Amino acid sequence: MKIAVCVSHVPDTATKVNIGPDGKTLDPNGVAFVLNPYDEYAIEEALKTKELLGESEVVVISLGPDVNKETIRKALAMGADGGVLLKDENYRDSYAVAKALAAEIETQGAQLVFFGKQSVDYDNGIVGQLTAEMLGFNCATVAVDFKLDGDKITVEREIEGGKEVVETSIPAVITAQKGLNEPRYASLKGIMAAKRKTIEEKEAAAAENYTEVLGMKKPPEKAAGKIVGEDASAVPELIRLLKEEAKVI
């Protein structure tokens, strides 16, 4: 079976956000980009599934500019078999990203596709579901456990206050949450092997954006708070403030 993994290339979570000169996007100066943290779980699950099934192939797909190849390379070093870069230098919203990913997944003939639950840039958490729906695939999101038995899929997904067990079947999209597995480190051998693997490059299928960003702004700064005091002696005053000033307890 062909298994696909879609990965995004995002600013490191420690990034201090500065707004770019267009007033709409992040100023990329000084920003380090990394493989989206949730996508590591997606890659790991694809590799584990391949190991379990034998006779299968894992292909990594990323849409974006040339630098996304770094992220694809990382997935190849972890053990993915092949990579595809869908080239586009321009901003795309989730809908337009999903359109192009869906077209590529179809071309690849993949029946099982792993995504991260969310990109830590725009924090949308919808590209997996959109892609699934465009392809007419089943979909289970925010997975913390995944089992495949023939065509049958059982996923545990995180919900408020616990988990729910979803049953569905292939063809399917699964979006990965932390806890699904422990992503492996790329071994030196894996890193060397990744250098020899080819990344196929093609233009991303054209698609129109369904949304438009009008502007980006910083959230209002919190006014500096006060130190109520030191040690246990400050507690009565703290509780009084919470009751009488903040009125939250």
Partner 1 sequence: MANNILVFIEQRDGKIKKASFEAAKAASDFAAKLGGEIKAVVIGGEVENVAQLGGYGAANVVHIKNSELTKYSSSAYAELLTKEMSDGGFDILFISNTAMGRDLAPRVAVQNNAAAIIDCTAFDYQDGTIVATRPVYAGKALVDVKATTEKKVFTLRPNVFSAGSPSDASATVEVKEVSDVNLKSRVVEEKLSSGKLDVAEADIIVSGGRGMKDAESFKLVEELAGLLGAAVGASRAVVDAGWRPHSEQVGQTGKTVSPSLYVALGISGAIQHLAGMRSSKFIVAVNKDKDAPIFQVADYGIVGDVFDVVPAMIEELKK
Ligand X SMILES: Nc1ncnc2c1ncn2[C@@H]1O[C@H](COP(=O)(O)O)[C@@H](O)[C@H]1O
| Residue with smaller CB distance to ligand FAD, 13 or 90 | 13
Among 63-71, 78-86, 195-203, 218-226, which window interacts with partner 1 (CB under 8 A)?
218-226
* Between 120 and 166, CB nearer to ligand X: 120
Task: Compute the distance between CA of residue 3 and CA of residue 37 in angstroms, rounded to an integer.
Answer: 20
Q: Is 67 in the site for partner 1 (CB under 8 A)?
A: no
Q: How far is the CB of 114 from partner 1 (least distance, A)?
A: 16
**CA 84 to each of CA 5, 186, 199: distance values in angstroms, whole numbers, following the listed order:** 10, 19, 5
The minimum distance between CB 50 and partner 1, in angstroms, equals 23
Measured between alpha carbons, how far is 209 from 205 in angstroms, rounded to an integer? 13
Residue 96 in contact with residue 42, Cβ under 8 Å? Answer: no
Burial category of 32 from C-beta neighbours within 10 Å (exposed 0-12, middle 13-18, buried 19 and up): exposed
Contacts with ligand X, 103-122, as mask; x by CB under 6 A? ------------xx-xx--x
Q: How far is the CB of 120 from ligand FAD (least distance, A)?
A: 8
Tokens representing 192 are 């060397």
Task: Report whether 57 contacts 81 (CB < 8 A).
Answer: yes
Contact 163, 140 (CB under 8 A): no
Site for ligand X in 34-63 (CB under 6 A): 36, 38-39, 42, 61-63
Partner interacting with residue 103 (select from ligand X, partner 1, ligand FAD, none; CB below 5-8 Å by kind): none
The one among 56, 87, 111, 179 contacting partner 1 by CB under 8 A: 179
Residue 139 Cβ vs partner 1, minimum distance, rounded to whole Å: 7
Cα dihedral value 134, 137, 140, 146, nearest 10 = -140
Site for ligand X in 5-34 (CB under 6 A): 6-8
Compare residues 29 and 198 and give the one whose CB is closer to partner 1. Answer: 29
Binding site partner of 115, from ligand X, partner 1, ligand FAD, none, Cβ cut-off 5-8 A by kind: ligand X
* CA–CA separation, 242 and 20 (whole Å): 39
Residues that bind ligand FAD (CB under 6 A): 13, 37
